[in-house]
Amino acid sequence: MIKKYMELVKFSHTIFSIPFILIAMVVAANGWFGWKLFVLGILAAVSARNFAMAVNRYLDRDIDAKNPRTADRPSVTGEVNESEMLIFIAANALIFIGVAYMINDLAFKLSIPILAVLGGYSYFKRFSEYAHLVLGVALGLAPIAGAIAVTGTIPCWSVFLALGVMFWVAGFDILYSLQDMEFDKKEGLHSIPALTGEKGALFISEMFHVFAVIFWALFVAYANLGFFAWLAVVVGAVMLYYEHKLVKKDFKNIPKAFFDVNGFLGIIFLVLIILDRI
């Protein structure tokens, strides 16, 4: 039962958002922020992502059925039927709103607008190449949410951190979309690779990742962090360079570049920020 839902939402990919909500919480608290906020922060991140991915799978089940790469997803095979997906979506939305209520007033007031953004991504690729950036915004909300959880405000540095995450995610989503470039063209779906082709997509992804590093540097500067935080930015830049090198070498490396490199990037960034605050 649990396994099929974890497969439905690719639970392992939660690794992309959790480190950055925790980074924001550590910086906002200037260290440890307590077990209560830790548990609530994890619950918020997991339920928000479960909601977003389940909405995506529900709305895209007709498209996924036509794509050989996605035809074995539980939402397509019927392993998780439509009613189960809707219940799962509603349950995670309620969990997220409930957790936000337990955190503070601002978190609660923003909970429904945040869910609207998270659920909107699936529609964008049907009419706009900006879908990659919308996905980036969805994950970029994580560090802002982390800062709100601790301080009840949205500090300037959290916006820079969020913008960095937005361009980071949009950049690697473009690389991931290269796998479906021909399928998107055939089905009339909107993506950067379908619009610009392979070379254009690689270039735009590189530029997005340059912007990500710049905004992460601004985050470190505005949050007045130290050596280990600057090291996190440098390591992030090196890992993104390696990611692009992998993809350019062979598109078969896209899954490895997408999950392994980006997953470790978030974890290493978090560890270095913790070291900086210690």
CATH of the domain at 190: 1.10.357.140
Q: Is the pLDDT of residue 5 over 60?
A: no
Q: At what angle do helices 227-249 and 192-222 cross, to 10 degrees?
A: 170
In 3-state terms, what secondary structure has residue 152?
Answer: coil
pLDDT digits (tens, 9 = 90+) for 47-71: 888 888 888 888 888 887 877 777 7
Closest CA to 112 of 101, 123, 125, 126: 101
Closest CA to 25 of 147, 201, 202, 113: 147
Place of tokens 């692009």: 244
For 48, counting Cβ atoms within 10 Å of its Cβ (0-12 exposed, 13-18 middle, 19+ buried), the class is buried
Q: Is the pLDDT of residue 14 over 70?
A: no
Q: Indicate left, alpha or beta for 101 from its phi (over 0: left) and psi (-120 to 50: alpha).
A: alpha
Q: Is there a contact between 182 and 117 (Cβ–Cβ < 8 Å)?
A: no
Closest CA to 176 of 259, 71, 242, 238: 259
Residue 14 CA to residue 213 CA, distance in Å, equals: 21
Q: Is the pLDDT of residue 201 over 60?
A: yes
pLDDT above 70 as % of the chain: 94
The per-residue DSSP string of 151-201 comes to: HSS--HHHHHHHHHHHHHHHHHHHHHHGGGHHHHHHHT---HHHHHHHHHH
pLDDT digits (tens, 9 = 90+) for 248-270: 887 777 777 777 788 889 999 99
pLDDT digits (tens, 9 = 90+) for 223-247: 999 999 999 999 999 999 999 998 8
Q: What is the mean pLDDT of residues 268-274?
A: 96
**HEC readout, 80-97:** CCHHHHHHHHHHHHHHHH
Does 169 or 261 have the greater pLDDT score? 169
Q: Is there a contact between 12 and 259 (Cβ–Cβ < 8 Å)?
A: yes
Q: Is the pLDDT of residue 12 over 70?
A: no
Q: How many CA atoms lie within 13 A of 202 on its CB side?
A: 14
Banded model confidence at residue 4, pLDDT cuts 50, 70, 90: low
**Structural domain of residue 273, as residue ranges?**
2-277
pTM of the full structure:
0.90
Domain count, the chain: 1
Count of positions (residues) in the chain: 278
CA 65 to chain centre: 24
Q: Is the pLDDT of residue 128 over 80?
A: no
Q: Is the pLDDT of residue 11 over 60?
A: no
In 3-state terms, what secondary structure has residue 268?
Answer: helix
Q: How many CA atoms lie within 13 A of 268 on its CB side?
A: 17
**Lowest-confidence region among 36-45, 52-61, 94-103, 200-209:** 52-61
pLDDT for 80: 80
Q: Which amino acid is located at 49 in the chain?
A: R
